[in-house]
Structure formats: structure tokens, C-alpha cells
């Protein structure tokens, strides 16, 4: 084996690949060869480091220097300066977001990483996900080996998971060990282990990053689960929109089989386990467990009533367990470091860590993993670097279309399953979207309702019809014809939908409306009584005006107006907008160089 003096890690996750990390690697390899350094400096493709907004990202070890927003053209300079002359390129080491990340020169020192604890993401960004050898070198397959070669009884495996306190990371937070125990108790020749990699919450990419950055951890965990419940077949249901993840999973499954870590007689034991991949096809409801199993069976993804629970009668009517990607990614560590270690992290009822995809109006957009019990404030302001452009914080949305908005006064809520439900939101799978003063909360509620109306499978009436009625009411309010009775109607409908729907999609669909009604009622009232949207988002309520004292009478706005509703006299009289004719396209506002056009 060659001994390299330096390793360059380049992120090849979806975000960074979109900004040309593939080309960067190509250039790096060319340049290193040209400079005769190819045996001294090793280029490693890795998964996500977490700091997606600053991508493409490159880290150089042993120094731990991190480069941000590297372009393929920067490579020559990095190689000649850093690798040849040992002078890191300072220009690429600072972050460009409004609030500087940190001036720290070292990865682990920066604020972004200091408050994080990487358990599920332990290997993401530090190993090459396309190499099983690197996974093994980082204690990979140790847990599976221990379970099989030390001949742990399946029940002991389950007890270890129960003792760790691990709860499902896919949204519901059901205790994982308990789920496995139910399935293990069933007497059946054929059982299945499924992995939920459908990741339906729009704006969340935790599971994708794990699959892209550390696919073997999920494969290893599924095999452990298979041994524990007595299954020898696994399925990974993954979104077709995640081509890189699918390709890495396929590669990883092939490698694991070649090494005898998957397939017939794993580790030479009596236990055999195989995994197949199934692609989702863009239906949010297929993230729901019964719908997902119908989809694997090749049917429409309609949920089915529970009971019978999947542990009794699941995929192809056989006992089945389904766990989320991140849940699985935690399993190998529990066996490596012990259930007690895992249980020492987090809060009383929520053990371990949680990965969040931090996005929206926050400086450091990316992937973060924190111990349970960290406060929302710490995530948004310490790790996330706060709100860009000196805007004020308004809310954080968690739980996606099933969750709710957490307002500023609850920023100090420690994050765990129960606390988030108590404040009217939920953990969800880990999407965390930050909103600032410019985000209209009524519009956001409408956004999520449009989503559920679109994604409702249509099987049960409360969800199919009820969500549509709620959306109509919201459209009325944002369009300027809402009444105070409409607010009550929303609350009434919400109760009916929550109680009457067949699956959790409908049961949770009213949450975004209820939580915004609770915490931001004044915005709803303003829309109704004053016909005003304070953020200027709801088109039906906004009007454009020209401020007379700022108008330089240049007439540029009138020239751009597609409907000719702006009049004035060039150089003599300030221009005015005829609000009755205005179609609110905003062209005048973009045209004006003097900021004289305003909307309110």
C-alpha cells in the first residue's frame, strides 16, 4: 500500500455534484499527475460534509484545511500552492455567506461543527462511499461480525437495541427494539426487512446523504435486523429522484456480496441475507409504511388500515419490519460502542442524536447532527449562523407537511420527540426550514396544504375532500375575501380530518395550519380584516405604489409595464400606478433604479 502524505477529500453528494465536483476531481487528478504528486497526495471521493450551501467543498488532511465554493479552475492554484509549496490558498478558505461561518482554519474548530455530534453521519464525508475497504477500516461490519461469530441469540440482539433506547427516525419515533420484537415473535418461514428511503418531506435530504456517503452502514444494519427477526430478504425502497444514492447502494450491495458479508451464509454462519432495491416513483404517501409495501408489491400505493400491523402481516402478507435509513445507520454503532453508550446521549425519552437538513433563510444551509436535547436556538444561531441579510427570525418549520412552525418565543425548546409535539410540531424525518420576516405564515400554510391535496391518495374522504376544503378557505383568505368565520371553519375542518382519516398523511395534514393559527393568528387576522399581507407575498392583497418623493420621473417603469397602467410626464410629473389595472407582476419594481416602487 502506498503511503500518502496528504489526502484531499472532495464531496460527491448531490449538492456538490450539481456544482461540478466531478470536474474538480478530474482536474485534481490530472494536475497531481502533471506535477508528479499522484503518489503523494490521494484524492478521495466522499459523501456530504454537511455544509451544502458553500459547496463544492474540499478538505485537505492532515491539516484539516477546508476549501469552500471551489471551482474547477481553482484546482491548478490549489495543487501548485498547497500541495507543492505547502501554502494553503487563503482566498478559498473563507465562507461567503452574509454572516461569516467562522474564521477557523480547521474543520473541527469551526462553529458549524463544534456543537454537532456525528453518530449516524459518522462516516459521511470521511470515507469513500464506493469503497467497502474504507468502511471496514472504520470498524464497518464489525457489528454484524460480532452478532454472527459470537453467536448472539436473536433475542439478545433485540434486547441490546431495546436497551439503547433508539426510536425510529422516520417520523413517528416508535421504539425500534420493540418493533423488531413483535416481528421476531411471529412464527413464519418467510419474513422481510424493509428500509424506508423514500424521503418524502420536500426540503429534506438526510437519508439521501447517508445513502450517498455511507451506504454500507444501512446494509450492515439491515442484515443485523434480518438476523434478529429471522428474515433472509431485505428491500430498500428509494426515491427514483436519487440516482447517485441508488448507484452507490447497488455498488455497495455487490461489494458486500463479493466479501461474503451478504448473500449465502454470511460470515460463514448459518444465516443468509440478501437485499434488493426498489425504486419509488414520486408519491409522498408511499413513505407511509403500508403504502410503501403495496408499492413494492407493484400496486398503487394506497395505505391499508392497521391492524393488522406489518410486523404481523406486511409485505406479501408476511411479517415485516420497516425502518428509516437514519434509524438503520445508528444500529452498527450501538453494537460497536454498546447500548449504554448510546443511551447516555440525548434526553430522558429520546436517546442518541438526530440529523436535520437545515435550510431556508439561514446562513449555513446544510446537514447537521446534534445530540437530542440541543435547543432550536443553538441549531439556528450557533450552528446555522443565524439569518442572512440582517433580517429578523420568524419561525422554524419541522416535520414537513405533517409538522408545524416553531415561533421565536419557543426558540429555547430542547429538541426531542415529545417536546416538539408539545409545541405543536413534530420531529418528522428531519427537515428544518428557517423562515424570516419576509415569509408569510398564511402562505406557508397554504403551501403545505397544496402539497397534501396533491399527494392525498384519495382513498378516504376526510383526507381527500377535507384537505381540499381547507385549501379553498386558505385561498379565500390569501385572496382577500376571507372572513373571521373562515378561521373557525379551518379549525373545525382540522378536527374532522385528524379524527376521520385512514392514515397518518391525513391525520397530520392540518398541522401546518393549526400551528400557524396558534402562533401567528395575528397574520391571519390581518389578511382577513385589513386585507393586508405584511410580507407582500400574497398577490391578491399586495399593491404596488410609487413613492412620489423618490420618483425621478424617468419613465422606465411605465416603459416596462406590460399592461400600460403607469402614467406620468417625463421629467415633469412623478409617475403613478393605476392599482385597478395593475396585474402585480413586479416589472416596475425591478425596473426602477431609485427604489421608488414599493409594494405593501
Partner 1 sequence: MGSTKTKTHDEQVTLLEQVIAKYQGQGRKALMQVLQEAQAIYGYLPLDVQRTVADGLGVSVAEVYGVITFYSFFSLNPKGAFEVSVCLGTACYVKGSQAILEKIEEELHIKAGECTPDGKFSINACRCIGACGLAPVIMVNEDVYGRLTPDQIPAILAKYKEA
Binding region for ligand FMN (CB under 6 A)? 168-172, 174, 196, 198-200, 284-285, 287-289, 322-324, 327, 429, 503-505
* Binders of partner 1 in range 121-180 (CB under 8 A): none
Query: Which one of ligand FES, partner 1, ligand FMN, none interacts with residue 446, CB within 5 to 8 A by kind?
Result: none
* Site size toward ligand FES, by CB under 6 A: 2
Under the criterion CB under 8 A, does residue 116 sit at the interface with partner 1? no
Interacting partner of 279 out of partner 1, ligand FMN, ligand FES, none (Cβ under 5 to 8 A depending on kind): partner 1
Cα-based distances in Å from 189 to 163, 309, 319, 323, 491: 28, 18, 10, 21, 48
Q: Which does 428 bind (CB under 5 to 8 A by kind): partner 1, ligand FES, ligand FMN, none?
A: none
202 lies in the binding site for ligand FES (CB under 6 A)? yes
What lies within 8 Å, CB to CB, of 346 at 6+ separation is 165, 352, 353, 371, 372, 373, 416
Structure-block grid coordinates of residue 497:
380530518
Q: Which is nearer to ligand FMN, 41 or 315 (CB)?
A: 315
Which is it for strands 192-197 and 233-238: parallel, antiparallel or unpaired?
Answer: parallel
Q: Among 135, 175, 152, 369, which residue's Cα sits nearest to residue 261?
A: 135
Question: How far, in Å, are 376, 393, 576 from residue 410 at the CA level?
Answer: 8, 12, 44
CA-CA-CA-CA dihedral for 413, 414, 419, 423, to nearest 10: 20
Q: How far apart are CA 204 and CA 430, in angstroms?
A: 7
Residue 390: CB partners within 8 Å, gap ≥ 6? Answer: 98
Helix and strand tally (H, E) in the chain?
25, 17
* Residue 14 within binding range of partner 1, rule CB under 8 A: yes
Q: Going residue by residue from 562 to 591, which x/- string records binding to partner 1, judged by CB under 8 A?
A: ----------------------------x-
Q: Answer for the pair 546, 597: CB distance below 8 angstroms, yes or no.
A: yes
Can you say whether the dihedral through the CA atoms of 36, 42, 48, 52 is positive or negative?
negative
335 lines the binding site for partner 1 (CB under 8 A):
no
Considering beta carbons, is residue 9 or 218 the nearer one to ligand FMN? 218
359 contacts partner 1 (rule: CB under 8 A): yes
Provide the 10 A C-beta neighbour count for residue 213: 29
The binder of partner 1 chosen from 37, 43, 44, 53 (CB under 8 A): 53
CB of 208 to partner 1, least distance (A): 5
**Least distance from C-beta 42 to ligand FMN, angstroms?**
35
Shortest approach of partner 1 to residue 16 CB, angstroms?
9
When the beta carbons of 54 and 74 are compared against partner 1, the nearer one is: 54
- Residue nearer to ligand FES on the CB measure, 202 or 479: 202
Q: Which does 360 bind (CB under 5 to 8 A by kind): partner 1, ligand FES, ligand FMN, none?
A: partner 1
Which CB sits closer to ligand FES, 203 or 564? 203
Our CB check for ligand FMN shows the closer of 287 and 386 to be 287
Question: Residue written as cell 476531481?
Answer: 25
> Please, are residues 170 and 250 in contact by the beta-carbon 8 Å criterion?
no
Backbone region of residue 536 per phi and psi (left: phi > 0; alpha: psi in -120 to 50; beta: other values)? left
HEC states along 91-121? HHCCCCCCCCCCCCCEHHHCHHHHCCCCCCC
Shortest distance, position 408 Cβ to partner 1, whole Å: 16
The answer to whether residue 172 forms part of the interface with ligand FES (CB under 6 A) is no
Beta bridge partners of 55: none
Q: How many residues does the chain have?
A: 600
Other Cβ atoms within 10 Å of 208 Cβ, number: 25
**What is the b/e burial string over 25-42, where b = at least 16 CB atoms within 10 angstroms of the residue's CB?**
bebbeebbeeeebbeebb
Give the position of cell 501554502. Answer: 87
The partner in contact with residue 361, picked from ligand FMN, ligand FES, partner 1, none with C-beta cut-offs of 5 to 8 angstroms by kind, is partner 1
> Per the structure block, which three cell numbers stand in for 136?
471496514
Q: Does 236 bind partner 1 (CB under 8 A)?
A: no
C-beta closer to partner 1: residue 42 or 361: 361
Q: At its nearest, how many Å lie between ligand FMN and the CB of residue 132?
A: 24
Kind plus residue range of the DSSP H or E element containing 588: helix 587-591
Contact characters 194-213, partner 1, x per CB under 8 A? -------xxxxx--x-----
Contacts of 337 (CB under 8 A, 6+ apart): none
Residue span binding partner 1 (CB under 8 A) among the ranges 236-244, 418-426, 546-554, 568-576: 236-244
Q: Which of 592, 591, 594 is nearest to 550 (CA)?
A: 594
- List the grid coordinates of 426: 413534530
Question: Taking the complex as a whole, how short is the minimal distance between the CB of residue 203 and ligand FES, in angstroms?
Answer: 4
Asked if 298 touches partner 1 (CB under 8 A), the answer is yes
Q: x/- contact string, 416-455, with partner 1 (CB under 8 A)?
A: ---------------x-xxx---x----x--x---x----
Closest to partner 1 by CB, 202 or 496? 202
Whose Cβ is closer to ligand FMN: residue 31's or residue 289's?
Answer: 289
- 534-573 residues in contact with ligand FES (CB under 6 A) are none
From the list ligand FMN, partner 1, ligand FES, none, which binds 72 (C-beta under 5 to 8 Å, kind-based)?
none
For residues 455 and 285, the answer to whether their CB atoms sit within 8 Å is yes
Q: Contact between 247 and partner 1 (CB under 8 A)?
A: no
- Smallest distance from partner 1 to CB 536, Å: 12
Question: Which of 203, 254, 260, 308 lies at the binding interface for ligand FES (CB under 6 A)?
Answer: 203
Which of the residues 525 through 554 are near partner 1 (CB under 8 A)? none
How far is it, in rounded angstroms, from Cα 212 to Cα 325?
11
Q: What is the chain's alpha carbon radius of gyration, rounded to the nearest angstrom?
A: 27
**Site for ligand FES contains 480 (CB under 6 A):** no
Query: What is the DSSP code (8-state) at residue 241?
Result: T
Q: Which residues lie near ligand FES (CB under 6 A)?
A: 202-203
Q: Which residues lie near partner 1 (CB under 8 A)?
A: 14-15, 18-19, 51-55, 201-205, 208, 240-242, 278-283, 295, 297-301, 357, 359-361, 365-366, 397, 400, 431, 433-435, 439, 444, 447, 451, 457, 590
Amino acid at each position: 500500500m502506498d503511503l500518502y502524505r496528504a489526502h484531499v477529500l472532495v464531496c460527491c453528494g448531490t449538492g456538490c455534484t450539481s456544482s461540478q465536483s466531478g470536474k474538480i476531481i478530474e482536474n485534481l487528478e490530472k494536475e497531481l499527475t502533471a506535477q508528479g504528486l499522484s503518489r503523494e497526495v490521494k484524492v478521495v471521493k466522499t459523501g456530504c460534509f454537511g455544509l451544502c450551501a458553500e459547496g463544492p467543498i474540499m478538505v485537505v488532511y492532515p491539516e484539516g484545511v477546508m476549501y469552500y465554493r471551489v471551482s474547477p479552475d481553482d484546482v491548478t492554484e490549489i495543487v501548485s500552492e498547497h500541495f507543492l509549496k505547502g501554502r494553503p490558498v487563503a482566498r478559498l478558505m473563507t465562507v461567503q455567506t452574509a454572516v461569516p461561518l467562522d474564521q477557523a482554519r480547521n474543520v473541527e474548530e469551526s462553529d458549524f461543527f463544534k456543537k454537532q455530534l456525528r453518530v449516524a453521519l459518522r462516516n459521511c464525508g470521511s470515507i469513500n462511499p464506493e469503497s467497502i475497504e474504507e468502511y471496514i477500516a472504520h470498524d464497518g461490519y464489525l457489528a454484524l461480525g460480532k452478532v454472527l461469530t459470537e453467536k448472539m441469540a436473536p433475542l439478545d440482539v433485540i434486547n441490546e437495541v431495546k436497551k439503547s433506547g433508539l426510536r425510529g427516525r422516520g417520523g413517528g419515533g416508535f421504539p425500534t427494539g420493540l418493533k423488531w420484537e413483535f416481528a421476531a415473535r411471529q412464527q413464519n418461514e418467510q419474513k422481510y426487512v424493509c428500509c424506508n428511503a423514500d424521503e418524502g418531506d420536500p426540503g429534506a435530504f438526510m437519508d439521501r446523504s447517508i445513502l450517498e456517503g455511507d451506504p454500507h452502514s444501512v446494509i450492515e444494519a439491515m442484515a443485523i435486523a434480518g438476523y434478529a427477526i429471522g428474515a433472509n430478504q431485505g428491500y430498500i425502497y428509494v426515491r427514483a429522484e436519487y440516482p447517485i444514492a441508488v448507484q452507490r447502494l447497488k455498488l455497495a450491495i455487490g461489494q458486500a456480496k463479493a466479501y461474503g458479508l451478504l448473500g449465502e451464509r454470511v460470515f460463514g454462519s448459518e444465516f443468509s441475507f440478501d437485499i434488493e432495491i426498489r425504486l419509488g416513483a414520486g408519491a409522498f404517501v408511499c413513505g407511509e409504511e403500508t403504502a410503501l409495501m403495496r408499492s413494492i408489491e407493484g400496486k398503487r400505493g394506497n395505505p391499508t388500515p392497521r391492524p393488522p400491523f406489518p410486523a404481523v402481516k406486511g409485505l406479501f402478507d408476511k411479517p415485516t419490519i420497516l425502518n428509516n435509513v437514519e434509524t438503520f445507520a445508528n444500529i452498527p454503532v450501538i453494537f460497536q460502542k454498546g447500548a449504554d453508550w448510546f443511551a447516555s446521549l440525548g434526553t430522558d425519552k429520546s436517546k442518541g442524536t438526530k440529523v436535520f437538513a437545515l435550510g431556508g433563510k439561514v446562513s449555513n444551509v446544510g446537514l447537521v447532527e446534534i445530540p437530542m436535547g440541543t435547543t432550536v436556538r443553538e441549531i439556528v444561531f450557533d450552528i446555522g449562523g443565524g439569518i442572512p441579510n440582517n433580517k429578523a427570525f420568524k419561525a422554524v418549520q419541522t416535520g414537513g407537511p405533517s409538522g408545524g412552525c416553531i415561533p421565536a418565543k419557543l426558540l429555547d425548546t430542547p429538541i426531542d420527540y415529545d417536546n416538539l409535539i408539545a409545541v405543536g410540531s413534530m420531529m418528522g424525518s428531519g427537515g428544518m426550514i428557517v423562515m424570516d420576516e419576509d415569509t408569510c405564515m398564511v402562505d406557508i400554510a397554504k403551501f403545505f396544504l397544496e402539497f397534501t391535496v396533491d399527494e392525498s391518495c384519495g382513498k378516504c374522504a376526510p383526507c381527500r375532500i377535507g384537505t381540499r376544503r381547507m385549501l379553498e378557505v386558505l385561498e379565500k383568505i390569501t385572496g382577500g375575501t376571507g372572513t373571521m368565520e373562515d378561521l373557525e371553519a379551518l379549525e373545525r375542518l382540522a378536527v374532522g380530518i385528524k379524527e376521520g382519516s385512514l392514515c397518518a398523511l391525513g391525520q397530520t395534514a392540518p398541522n401546518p395550519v393549526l400551528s400557524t393559527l396558534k402562533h401567528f393568528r395575528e397574520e391571519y387576522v390581518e389578511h382577513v380584516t385589513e386585507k393586508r399581507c405584511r410580507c407582500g407575498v400574497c398577490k391578491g392583497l399586495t399593491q404596488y405604489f410609487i413613492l412620489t418623493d423618490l420618483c425621478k420621473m424617468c419613465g422606465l417603469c411605465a416603459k416596462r409595464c406590460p399592461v400600460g397602467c403607469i402614467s406620468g410626464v417625463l421629467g415633469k410629473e412623478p409617475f403613478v400606478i393605476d392599482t385597478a389595472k395593475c396585474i402585480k407582476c413586479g416589472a416596475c419594481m425591478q425596473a426602477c433604479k431609485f427604489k421608488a416602487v414599493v409594494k405593501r
